[in-house]
Amino acid sequence: MIRIAVIADPHVHDCAWIPEGTSLPGAVRTFAETAASTRVFNESIPAFRTALDRAAEAGAKIVLLVGDLTDDGQRPNILAALSIVEEYRERYGIRVLMTPGNHDFYALAGRPQDKSFLESDGASVMVRSAESPDAATLGTGEALAMLASLGFEPEAGDLHWESPFGSDPDWSARTYTVLSPDGGTGCRMIDASYLVEPVEGLWVLAIDANVCAPRDGVSDFGDPAAFHDPTDGGWRAVIQHRAHLLPWMTDVAARAKAKGKHLVAFSHYPALDPLGGASAEEVALFGATGLARRAPTLAIAEAFAATGVTLHFSGHLHVNDTARHEGKAGRFANIAVSSPIGYGPGMKIVDLDAGRVEIRTETLRQVPGHDAAFAAYRTEARRAGQAEPPASTAPDHGVFLSRHLVNLVHGRYLAREWPADMVAFVQKSTVADLLATLGLSMNDAPAFSLSEFVEDWYRLRKAGELSHEDIAPERLAFYRRLVSQAPDIEGDSLAARFAIVLRMMRAYIERPANRNFALRLSDLAVTPL
């Protein structure tokens, strides 16, 4: 058995960094910006350290880092992340192998960033990279040169290392021409994918699925606006712009099988819908917003399955999920790993055996130093004449993120993604009103507001089983009974659309086990542990 750990999206942000050209006491991000983001910032280093502590406690010597290592690919944050990784290497012999995410670097020359930081008195200061150059996102080449030791280059002792272009690790040997969508504009870019055998019998396939493709007709590749943002591209962009990876994956999978190696693939983006297959319904409800537009299609799943790679870990969406695909071309499982700083904070410990994988989720609810920025949040609120945010008194990191999610649901998802008439109904109604609207009668329905129902809907959506710690057991039991009665209502009435909300919730609840489970690779059977 080989044990490894998987950590996704730690988004390391160093609060101790003092942005160039400012008189700030540090780089503490505002709660106002934090409340509207799908991740939190100031808690990232304590959470990342806790994740690495769990890997060390479990005795895992290899950690797969599924992209978005830093907040936004700023030099001070990359240096902070690297020094933490180095510390755990020295203390525990842990080796971190990384694949890039969309927040690690951008295109050739990087891109500007403007973010709000806190003065000691709670005032918010906008730091712009135009004035503080170290606040900008680095370009691909510069960032990868810094990150090279995280598997992107071989180490003495590696039993095997290769890139899709051969065995030469020099970056100049690892570029290809990425074409704009119309095929008329080409730009040389690095593909940072690699295969490494760090210990006997383990093949780690790090797939660089983070594609920055040029826009049609551009010529100034130093201009960040000349590129498509990779955020929503994911595996669609791999198929379109990095097609050379698929035959390489196929070849790697065949060689791993012939040599009897455990093959573990990971890339930043999911290759299967991590929302229980509910993304298609979501488009009907909200349009192509949010997670739905990022969900991989069936064609992508089939292309991936055809490579023979059967086990893939993904990050990016900060959700906890187990998804499986069985198609004409083959089968594979996509394990979506939650972020230490997104709702349902967690990481995976993975035991690889012949044909069988045991995956356990370590929840990161207890994080020493989780409250380091809470006093600053309260000062910020007082200065703005607001009540202190409930999140800023949370007893632990798990509760902090659960309360942060409430801010996020009301300030972002309902405000930006849900149709106005549905939001109005949510804000004034109870669960009893919802049942009446849907024509359902349940004698034992508990009384609570529809706002709280929507908050739990997002908890179940993002964290699967990990959310059960934040939802009262009787309420969870009620949700199970409720979704089993989800009606199918024609048309686009309010009732028809809330029926979709229930069917999506059913998909979230009925996902395969995604906390502690065994996965049999021959048929993808999932058994809870």
Which residues make up the interface to Fe ion (CB under 5 A)?
9, 68, 101-102, 316
Other C-beta atoms within 10 Å of 278: how many? 22
CB of 425 to Fe ion, least distance (A): 32
Question: Which CB atom, from 180 or from 210, has the smaller least distance to Fe ion?
Answer: 210
User: 64: which strand partners?
Assistant: 6, 97
CB of 232 to Fe ion, least distance (A): 10
**Cα distances (Å, whole numbers) of residue 407 to 84, 284, 373, 413, 436:** 30, 25, 17, 9, 28
- Separation CA 264–CA 206 (nearest Å): 9
Question: Which CB atom, from 40 or from 323, has the smaller least distance to Fe ion?
Answer: 40
Question: Which CB atom, from 198 or from 340, has the smaller least distance to Fe ion?
Answer: 340
CB of 358 to Fe ion, least distance (A): 26
Question: Which CB atom, from 227 or from 498, has the smaller least distance to Fe ion?
Answer: 227
- Separation CA 272–CA 497 (nearest Å): 25
Question: Which CB atom, from 193 or from 379, has the smaller least distance to Fe ion?
Answer: 193
- Separation CA 15–CA 45 (nearest Å): 9
- Separation CA 248–CA 235 (nearest Å): 15
CB of 316 to Fe ion, least distance (A): 4
CB of 89 to Fe ion, least distance (A): 23
Angle among Cα 310, 347, 501 to the nearest 5 degrees reads: 80
CB of 66 to Fe ion, least distance (A): 9
Question: Which CB atom, from 49 or from 316, has the smaller least distance to Fe ion?
Answer: 316
Residue among 418, 499, 408, 501 at smallest CA distance from 455: 408
- Separation CA 307–CA 261 (nearest Å): 16
Task: Give residue 322's Cα distance to chain centre.
Answer: 14
Question: Which CB atom, from 198 or from 274, has the smaller least distance to Fe ion?
Answer: 274
CB of 428 to Fe ion, least distance (A): 34
3-state secondary structure 254-298: HHHHHHCCEEEEECCCCCCCCCCCCHHHHHHHHCCCHHHHHCCCH
